[in-house]
Amino acid sequence: MIYRRIASAILISTAFLCAKDNSLSAQIPEVKPGILQGYLDTKTLPNSLNLIPTAPIQGSAAQELDNAVSQKYLALVGTPRWEMATRDADLSFPNAAQIFSCALGLPISEELTPHLYVLLRRTVADAGLATYTAKNHYQRVRPFMLNRKPICTPEDREALKNDGSHPSGHTAIGWAWALILAEIVPQHADAILARGRAFGESRIICNVHWHSDVVEGRFISASVVAKLHSDPQFLSDLEAAKKELASLYAKGVKSPNDCKFESAALALTNER
């Protein structure tokens, strides 16, 4: 049950399903097709229901703020920022591995950065699943169900209707990645954290989450990352990832992404 939304968000490619048996990813069991087992046992994950405030109710000041932010971002439909938010909605690998490529100035792939690639994939489960105690309890209605406006991924509409909005699982995953990457490459921390913030805001732009869902998603992911630092395998992969990226920087490898497009798209959010 708790894996439903995360599993439906991940669109498994044929190439990924045919991954080599000797890859690091292939050595980690899957909890669902395409979702690698996390580092943390589900019993040790942070309890989101104990950690975040009650979902805002209609007529409250918090809901009025959510409404205002939602209305502001609806103006971005059809813009490059909307296109970027649509890309951010895709948590499938290898696509999701490139989300922070421009912020890092490097490519991330199973071939070039195998330990980092596995680390990112495993923390999808850790950060995403940690949101579900609260999600399942509050079953908060998503913005598009009230305002009847478009969403970035209309093919997910029915699944999203049946999945609670508070807090945002996508945001928890993206912010966990941002915190981890900022630790790995502290000299690029500002750009990495800014991209992580934008990743969460993409969920508001896509009209599938409220502002408060995104804020609390970041809080949950911070709790997850704190717990991850007590896991020996996570720490081992973290150190290996640092060496992988240091090697790429030393070789002068550059990001293959269209970073000018990304910068221009993000500027649209900053202007509003």
Catalytic residues, by residue number, are 170, 203, 209, 213
Q: What are phi and psi of 98, to 5 degrees?
A: -95, 0
Distance, CA of 252 to chain centre: 27
Whole-angstrom distance, CA of residue 53 vs CA of residue 60: 13
Cβ-based neighbours of 120, under 8 Å, separated by 6 or more: 93, 96, 97, 108, 177
Q: Which of 265, 170, 267 is nearest to 217 (CA)?
A: 170
Query: For residues 127-139, b (16+ Cβ closer than 10 Å) or e, as one string?
Result: bbbbbbbbbeebe
Burial class (CB in 10 A: 0-12, 13-18, 19+), 186: exposed
Identity of the amino acid at 209? H
- Measured CA to CA, the distance from residue 233 to residue 225 in angstroms comes to 13
| Burial of 23 (C-beta count, 10 Å sphere; 0-12/13-18/19+) | middle
Question: How many angstroms separate the first and last alpha carbons of the chain?
Answer: 38
User: What would the DSSP string read from start to end of 211-247?
Assistant: HHHHHHHHHHHHHHHHHHTT-HHHHHHHHHHHHHHHH
